[in-house]
Chain A
């Protein structure tokens, strides 16, 4: 079963920051927080991941709370092409661990 909870949908205005929350209150000490997105009829695309420190790359920023029970993905300047389903996953890359998806958040970027 998925270990994360996300809102089912969010809207964001084009050019504004999109902040997508994720709750993972049962995260284990060795589990990372991963974010992926899926555009219709394509495989999931990796966005970013982190363990406990905030992370930033060319696509997004990831803010993880100090207790690691929740996180926020930030798309700083959302475009129409960012409209997708965003999945937050907690996972440790160890033999036997399953990579399980929750329901995700449908982000609609509107002009």
Chain B
């Protein structure tokens, strides 16, 4: 089946620095990718929808200047957490889909810890 690869799986960074998370669709082209964050014992919360070649659409309450999303190609979307703070520590997950009547595929997630 189709695979979505997310990198890195774990990252620890210092407060004030920026972290980039990559999401790649390995064997299909994804015009749309979704980015989520998940806090312990909670469901996935949609942060933004990333569309290839255009600006991302952010959910209400998500700071677009803090969570920079770039979808430069049909197989790669990146999420950059800028000026990270401890409250940004979370599990970040990406998803990509293909066409109608196919499922969306999820990356394995990235555990971000800001110290």
Contact = CB atoms under 8 A, between A and B. Distances in A.
Interface of A: 32, 34, 36, 38, 41-46, 49, 51, 85, 87, 91-96, 98-104
20 contacts: A34-B104, A36-B106, A41-B109, A42-B109, A43-B109, A46-B103, A85-B43, A93-B97, A93-B98, A93-B100, A93-B101, A93-B102, A95-B32, A96-B49, A98-B34, A99-B104, A101-B36, A101-B45, A101-B46, A103-B43
A34 B95 CA distance: 14
B111 interface: yes
For chain B, the bracket of interface size reads 20 to 34
Contacts of A43: 4, 6, 93, 106-109
B44 A44 contact: yes
Interface of B: 1, 4, 6, 31-32, 34, 36, 43-46, 49, 51, 91, 93, 95, 97-109, 111
A26 to B, nearest CB: 18
Given A43-B107, A46-B104, A85-B43, 6 more contacts: A34-B104, A44-B93, A93-B101, A95-B51, A100-B46, A101-B46
A42 B93 CA distance: 9
Interface of A is mostly: loop
B108 A42 contact: yes
